[in-house]
Amino acid sequence: MTDAAPTLRELIGHPLLAAATPLSGDDDLDRPVTGVTLIDPAETGLVRTGEIAVCPAVPAGYLSSWRLDAVIRRLRDQRAAALALPVPGPGGETVLDGSRRLARHLHLPILGIGTAPLRWAGAAVALVHSPAVDAADRLRRAHRALTRGLLSPQDVARALAAILERPVAVFGPDGTPIGASFEPPPGFDPHAMVAQILTVDGGTTVVVPVPGATSGTAGLWLAAALGPAPATWARGARDVLQAGTLAVQRWQATRRVVLERDARLRAGLFGDLLEGRLGGGDARQQRAAEIGWRLDGWHVAFHLAALGQVDLLGHSDAVAAAIAAERIDAIVVERGDGWSAWTTGRTEPDQDASRDLLAALQRVRHRLAGRFDCAIGVGRGYLDASGLTRSLAEAWDAARLARGRPQTGRLVHIDRLGLAQLLVAWASTETFAPTATRLLGPLESQPGELTATLSAYLDAGGSAADTAAILGVHRNTVAARLRRIEELLTVDLNNPDDRLALHLACRVTQDHHPGSA
């Protein structure tokens, strides 16, 4: 099976031929091109069907006289693909508007070549008749560029963009752009571990997977936005990108060794921190300082608990990047089921700082959602190393509780648990639990997730706006659900006693049925 002839639009979209621009409009650029021939406008040479007629030099007076119109008519009769002319220099002759209109009427595109016409014609011949030569040259250049040193995924993308002369981007495992200049095209499937060549609205994007640590999954994707591109060029770009995946894998393997070494160091120091052995200015405290750990000042710890099986080391860079992207200056350490982290400041954090941190951590959760789901617990602010240990313990406990609270966005601050947790412990008795179930029973048979909405509303302190943000629905939807809840339960959500009883009932039923929310 042979490839279809490239169209005129695809050819002039190639970097080697980008110096050609349509002078008579772009309505007739989708015709196939079968070759290139040089012509002298003063002679009646033969031009075959589908060929681009390249005029290396235009005699004086041709562009502003009837003679160009005669050339246009002759090439139309010979069914040429296009007429290519050198772009005149400053003050030179230009194609008359009448000639442009005639070319449009006869459906013969006129191209203006902004470089040496003979060089352009040679490149066009090569791309039409021997596209594999250009593809092989770019692949050779890619191998040379990618083997000169260890390159990060972003460095690989920049190197390949210079070789393909087109934008190259890095996508995450789920197709989310990572500092990319363009989005994945419609039809891209991040779950299909194969190279994908996608053409949408005349533009072609090539996406290839970088195999992940788990078999059958993509750790990253490399993508090139080619614009209009013949199939041969798209396949050549695919091969260049696949060479890039090998460079990314080399970087990942080396990075993994570095991460494992650093993780062992961090784990040892972190264990010393939790056991209270990093005080007194000993060698361990000095090592902690050398890797950037501040143990003096006010600390607020938080813990990101991954839900499900997650390669912690494989995602450590992504977690640190997501935290940094939200302007949280934190130390991050792999710990147990996830990552513990803490921020350090000179003054005791106030309520505004705590609120800002919680909002930023919720955004961190959303940033990581394409990789894995997680629950986040936040401790209180405490002073110095002993206080940091206490805050870390609180964050760990809060994260465990956050796992079963999707209605709070799986984000829990230890300060919001104190008295409520004591009340729930009292209420979770054989006497109260059935009562709580009966109290909320009218909501269970109704559509609209009324129980989850009520729980989220009460956990959000009675804020309909915060409830809407947590549930991912419109505020008017929350308001309508709350009115329906009041009708079904015959309660007044503005009454503190009613709110307390309902809040306890929601907490008790959640703890008895943690998967129901």
User: How many CB atoms are located within 10 Å of the residue 143 CB?
Assistant: 13
Q: Residue 100 has which token pair? A: 């442009």
Helices and strands (H, E) in the chain, number of each type: 17, 14
Distances in Å between the alpha carbon of 503 and those of 421, 439, 452? Answer: 11, 11, 12
Q: What is the pLDDT of residue 1?
A: 38
Q: Distance between CA atoms of 396 and 417, rounded to whole angstroms?
A: 13
pLDDT classification of 516: cutoffs 50, 70, 90 = very low
Confidence of residue 511 (pLDDT cuts 50, 70, 90): low
Task: With a cut of 70, say whether residue 78 has pLDDT above it.
Answer: yes
Residue positions counted in the chain: 517
Q: Which of 418, 417, 510, 379 is nearest to 455 (CA)?
A: 510
> Residue 433: what pLDDT?
65
C-alpha to C-alpha distances, 464 to 376, 412, 443, 484, 499, nearest whole angstrom: 22, 18, 18, 14, 14
Q: What is the pLDDT of residue 83?
A: 94
| Strand-pair partners of 22 | 111
Q: What phi and psi, each to the nearest 5 degrees, are found at residue 467?
A: -60, -45
The pLDDT value recorded for residue 435 is 66
On average, the pLDDT of the chain sits at: 85
Residue with tokens 């591109």: 229
Classify residue 32 as exposed, middle or buried by CB count within 10 Å of its CB (0-12, 13-18, 19+). middle
Side-chain half-sphere CA neighbours of 506 within 13 A: 24
- What pLDDT is attached to residue 407? 64
Q: Using one digit for the tens of pLDDT, what is the confidence trace for 313-322?
A: 888 888 999 9
Task: Please give the torsion angle defined by the CA atoms of residues 495, 497, 502 and 504, in that order, rounded to the nearest 10 degrees.
Answer: 150
Q: Which domains occur in the chain, in start order?
A: 8-129 (3.40.1390.20), 131-251 (3.30.450.40), 275-417 (3.30.70), 432-516 (1.10.10.2840)
CA distance 44 to 460: 83
| CB environment 429-466: b (16+ within 10 A), e (fewer) | eeebbeebeebbeebeeeeebbbbbbbbbbbbeeebeb
What Rg, from alpha-carbon coordinates, does the chain have? 33
CB 516 within 8 A of CB 510: yes
- pLDDT (tens digit per residue) in 363-410: 999 999 888 999 999 999 999 888 999 999 889 888 887 887 776 678
Instruction: Judge whether 391 and 382 are in contact, CB under 8 Å.
Output: yes
pLDDT value at residue 422: 41
Each residue's pLDDT tens digit, 124-169: 998 888 888 888 989 999 999 998 888 999 999 999 999 999 999 9
